[in-house]
Structure 1
């Protein structure tokens, strides 16, 4: 049996008429940048997340760069983040001139170890960029307490966290991205809310930050050819917005289906002593954006899955502090031992709402076969 790591085709086949209608409608009405489709999606994101403001941009990476620039992550400042995440979470800091300061991760959740943040704060520290990774949020209570006591800005990288909600010590759940000064989402196709190409969104509850983000996405101009800032060209595509609005109608069903698939994996893998499943910590509602395991003989298992035509991915095979482009920071192997350890063990299995139980059982049985050899 062949099991794809991800495919958009099943969802398209199920909702073909709706997707086709949405795309053709944009073309028939006349394509416009930041047109009604983008405004509609921004309104839908605000309603779903509870954010006061939402700004559609060209990608999750652009969202991070714009927000970093606006928050003053620039030359001479430092921003604390995780070394175990996608490249953009740290490159956005470097891109705007600031220095990424890495803090090791918690081995059970893969998120930044909040107990190590404060010891890395200096008089140059401008902000904290927590990453909500894979299926759960970082401890936003502790992060916001630290930020408040040291007068720091907080940019939440919620690229993988659409639908995740944090309650912590609060009276109510707050959606990922809505707790810090800015939050960002990615609509890359594999995401929980994914488009048919690149797309991103910035959210905030601060009116001034919202107004600046709107200006920054159109070359820093409040009106055409009148530039207050040196901004960017980063506008969410109208066709992508139309596709995403179709998907927003089914987002709760999609999240619930991911939860069900996650339960199949947990049940199917629970008796394999060579496999560990991440723990969900804190008072929060998680979402299975991907389903990761920690596996003994990870690389050999990956090869076996490949032989059996089972898709997989490794998030992330090399921590950021060991990437060539960050060599200037002066880190060496062993500086962040937990991140380095996890990078050698982690393996992502297929996870998308259209997976069948038969496929998940096949994946689990193949993993059992591998360790029984």
Structure 2
């Protein structure tokens, strides 16, 4: 059996090696390392794939979130609501911009933002909602957008983990994850479903005026060289990373299908285990399984974590500490009673190896090891 890896980027690379190597060599030959042709070509390809008017490439997913908030003109003290159970980047940029993060609980089955908790958190100072499409499936965007419309709030989609997922509205309209709010963001971190070989990110919007603002902001606020019209940052996707992403984008749907196939194997294998809750997929979204995350309900999550490591099966706990309890984001405004689901999840969740290169022998070994232990 091949060595099991949490994410097997090397095996994936070997299948696209000729294309990737040739593309990178072309960049080296051209010396167009910043804003070269591959950046513009990838941008256009991604706009077409997502069905969105504007893609603004940038340096990473965290920058994408920060720049999106800057572009919307949010001001110090404005409240921004997001999920408590997610990676810190989402709340990090809210803090960096001197906005006020308002963390709310999540759903127990999808781990995405709880709509009722969202509604209760709205105050006159609320200006935006950041739904996170956690682990690979969309939050309840129809409900989020309804709340936002009622209260005149911006919606910023954190799509770092669900690029390629499809959302179906109640009227049958379909949209790609990240294209439904005022602005969407994503990360191209190497382990993502669409990952580059370094850092990278992008911002999506259908708003022409906002897109213009964002394009300047990612480049020091310049629209004309050395003329700075807005306060900006230095956040560009470099040409080598764009070349890698351009090579991988046509394969994104097949990558997501491979992850779904592995997830189906996992879920079938654990179906009769009373101590395991497998991922739930909402009716309105597809799931691209950036992560495959179980809930272990018999109190043995930590023991399982170590048992898997002892058997050379990598695994991870996403996330061990809720954001409201992190030292950087603690606040007297928060009440533990408002985070019952998140506080439960941190003791139960465990994520298994999930990538495009998992084979049946590996999956059988992983699932047998878990079922025999739990």
| Interval containing the TM-score (normalised by the shorter chain) | over 0.9
Distance 2:251 2:282 in 1: 27
In structure 1, what is the equivalent of residue 355 of structure 2?
Answer: 352
Distance 2:327 2:57 in 1: 32
What secondary structure, in the 3-state scheme, does the structure 2 residue paired with 1:159 have? coil
What secondary structure, in the 3-state scheme, does the structure 2 residue paired with 1:201 have? strand
What secondary structure, in the 3-state scheme, does the structure 1 residue paired with 2:55 have? strand
Distance 1:223 1:282 in 2: 47
1:269-319 deviations in whole A, cap 9, x for unaligned?
Answer: 112111101211232222111111001311100000000000111111111
In structure 1, what is the equivalent of residue 371 of structure 2?
Answer: 368
Distance 1:354 1:207 in 2: 39
Asked if 2 retains the 8 angstrom alpha-carbon contact of 1:103 and 1:117, the reply is yes
Give the C-alpha shift of residue 115 in structure 1. 1.8
**TM-score, with length taken from structure 2:** 0.97
Unaligned runs of 5+ in 2: none
Give the C-alpha shift of residue 250 in structure 1. 1.2
Give the C-alpha shift of residue 70 in structure 1. 1.3
Give the C-alpha shift of residue 329 in structure 1. 5.2
Distance 1:312 1:23 in 2: 32
Distance 2:283 2:119 in 1: 20
Give the C-alpha shift of residue 330 in structure 1. 4.3
- Seen in structure 2, the aligned counterparts of structure 1 residues 330 and 147 have a Cα distance that, compared at 3 Å, is closer
Superposition pairs of residues 100-179 of structure 1, within 5 angstroms? 100-179=101-180
Give the C-alpha shift of residue 119 in structure 1. 1.6
What secondary structure, in the 3-state scheme, does the structure 2 residue paired with 1:310 have? coil
Give the C-alpha shift of residue 19 in structure 1. 1.3
1:301 to 294, 304, 311: 304
Residue correspondences, number: 371
Give the C-alpha shift of residue 334 in structure 1. 4.4
**TM-score, with length taken from structure 1:** 0.97
Give the C-alpha shift of residue 344 in structure 1. 1.0
Unaligned runs of 5+ in 1: none
Distance 1:118 1:12 in 2: 44
Query: Are 1:225 and 2:190 an aligned pair?
Result: no
Asked if 1 retains the 8 angstrom alpha-carbon contact of 2:33 and 2:240, the reply is no
